[in-house]
Amino acid sequence: METFADKRQRMVEEQIAARGVVDRTVLDAMLAVPRQMFVPPSAAEFAYEDTPLPIEEGQTISRPYVVALMADALKLTRRDRVLEIGAGSGYAAAVLSRIAAEVYAIERHAALAELASGRMKDLGFDNVHVVHGDGTLGWPEHAPYDAILVSAGGPSVPDALRAQLAIGGRLVIPVGATPRAQELVRVTRLGQNEYRQEDLGAVQFVPLIGEQGWIVHARGPDTASAALPQEQTSPAGLAPWQLP
């Protein structure tokens, strides 16, 4: 009988390495994280299939290949401090934590943030710190970050996230004119006010909701509109489930 470890090995070989992600640190991180622990028990048997899966609060966990692709695009080192926006189940943050020194993750759904934090504790991933809050404003208390991963699609790159990127840091985010279709871009901070942006391909993510993302109207996220420019505020009052 095929075990979860067997399925994980096959996932990495067939879905990720075979499609061009060959960085050994990324592949090893994907092998190290038990994806079945980041989905509801009813979906565990499908955890290593090449598909997004539903999780709590009506959200989804991204396909394994997409998580690996975005981790690869960040060009992480063992010394890096990473910020993730849109933690969801915590799976991507867990993968990043097997490569980088520290991972700070923000999730707008309080229940998901609490679940993600509990999973990190259960798995011993003590270099991941999760809070509930508006991810479009970042987490300035721990800035600057060597890398920022945004796991939701926004109308543009939030200014708050640009400002929290270290010189030489990389930010990977889906950006698009509509809430449901985007281009994955990598922004590299070259200097105090100088950035380089590269297109990495078409993707489809859930909308990035927040002050510097999309605003959802009563009819749902597909009728979201871009937030009007506002004065940047500090995300005071974040409810943290930060691990010891």
Residues marked active site are found at 62
Q: At what angle do helices 24-32 and 4-11 cross, to 10 degrees?
A: 160
- Angle in degrees, CA 235, 239, 240, rounded to 5: 105
Give residues with Cβ within 8 angstroms of 205, minimum separation 6: 62, 151, 152, 153, 174, 182
Strands 60-61 and 181-191: unpaired
Separation of alpha carbons 19 and 7, rounded Å: 17
User: What are the distances in angstroms from CA 74 to CA 25, 48, 50?
Assistant: 12, 23, 22
Nearest in space to 77 (alpha carbons), one of 13, 139, 23: 23
109: tokens are: 């759904």
